[in-house]
């Protein structure tokens, strides 16, 4: 019986160059990316803020962001018939994609490192796909976490305003109370990145 001595470094370099190995790694990674994306979509869609907005101008303030008064759809000022939650979900589906390229490197030890890239979601995307209907330069998705002004001028009333559920008065109508910020997209996005890394 003959014995062949394997040059491990040459073997590493062969694996790193082999297109079949790279293709196999992409086949392994793609389902993980898709699974993490679906978890992100489910988390966003089921969040109390999302479900309240998706319910339209006649919903209750189930998220508690307005102290139980009115609802987020009319307070933010979405147009009647609009569905900003679905719009953002559709954007997520198209935006987050695994690139068909994988970089391979050999570590100082005995590891072969595979690096892949995912088309991500930027702050510019938040502005373009989730812009505030009445305040340019802001995203309602971020504003839910950072705060939205105008609560003292907000009047919740059915079949009024462009939302069909309320208006912003020129004069202050309420004293006390304010919009309550809640954790929202940033927490979900952090969870997505953790899921991808596991």
Average pLDDT of adjacent 10-residue blocks, the chain of 198 residues = 58 68 83 94 98 96 95 95 96 92 72 82 90 86 94 92 90 78 96 88
Rounded distance, CA 7 to CA 21, Å?
A: 19
Rounded distance, CA 195 to CA 8, Å?
A: 33
Q: Which residues of 83-101 are buried (b: 16+ CB within 10 A; e: fewer)?
A: ebbeebbebbeebbebeee
* pTM across the whole model: 0.84
Ranges of H-type helices in the chain: 8-17, 19-46, 48-54, 72-76, 84-95, 123-129, 140-146, 185-197
- By the 10 Å C-beta count (0-12 exposed, 13-18 middle, 19+ buried), 104 is classed as middle
Among residues 175, 12, 167, the alpha carbon closest in space to that of 77 is found at: 167
pLDDT reported for residue 19: 75
Q: How many CB atoms lie within 10 A of CB 114?
A: 17
pLDDT reported for residue 22: 75
| DSSP-derived secondary structure letter, 34 | H
pLDDT reported for residue 29: 87
């Amino acid at each position: 019986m003959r014995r062949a001595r394997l040059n491990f470094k040459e073997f590493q370099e062969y694996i790193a160059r082999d297109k079949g190995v790279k293709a196999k790694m992409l086949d392994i990674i793609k389902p993980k990316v898709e699974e993490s994306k679906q978890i992100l979509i489910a988390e966003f869609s089921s969040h109390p803020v999302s479900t309240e907005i998706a319910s339209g101008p006649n919903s209750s303030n189930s998220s508690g962001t307005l102290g139980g008064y009115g609802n987020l759809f009319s307070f933010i000022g979405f147009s009647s018939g609009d569905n900003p939650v679905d719009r953002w979900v559709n954007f997520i589906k198209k935006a987050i994609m695994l690139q068909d390229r994988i970089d391979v490197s050999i570590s100082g030890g005995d590891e072969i490192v595979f690096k892949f890239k995912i088309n991500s979601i930027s702050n510019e995307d938040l502005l373009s796909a989730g812009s505030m209907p009445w305040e340019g330069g802001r995203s309602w998705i971020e504003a839910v976490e950072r705060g939205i002004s105008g609560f003292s001028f907000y009047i919740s009333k059915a079949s009024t305003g462009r939302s069909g559920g309320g208006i912003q008065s020129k004069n202050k109508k309420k004293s006390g109370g304010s919009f309550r910020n809640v954790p929202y997209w940033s927490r979900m996005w952090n969870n997505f990145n953790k899921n991808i890394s596991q």
